[in-house]
Amino acid sequence: MRRTRSETTAIVDLLLEDVLSGAAKYWTILLRSGESFVGICDLSEIRSGESAGLGFMLLRKYWGVGFGNEVVSCLLEFAKSLA
């Protein structure tokens, strides 16, 4: 499905509102060398001391090589610091 520029802007605005309110945090995932983009990850619907949603998307060429496990471990460790 193609999105219009205004639809994309509306989605980004919602994501930024969540970040500014403290309800979400987003990161890019890079190789350790810092030169190659691997994907994105987030904690969303953050309810401090209670719960948060966790998500990630990886470029297909990085599927099945352990990035998912590493990302989830990092996000869970970060989430603990929010409690």
Alpha helices per DSSP H over 1-83: 5-21, 67-82
CB 29 within 8 A of CB 42: no
For residues 45 and 83, which has the higher predicted lDDT (pLDDT)?
45
Domain ranges within the chain, ordered by starting residue:
5-82
| pLDDT at residue 34, as a whole number | 75
Confidence of residue 2 (pLDDT cuts 50, 70, 90): confident
Mean pLDDT score across all residues of the chain: 93
pLDDT at 74 over 80: yes
Q: Identify the weakest region by mean pLDDT among 17-26, 45-54, 55-64.
A: 45-54
Q: Which amino acid is at 12?
A: V
Three-state DSSP class for residue 63: coil
Indicate the class that CATH gives domain 5-82: alpha beta
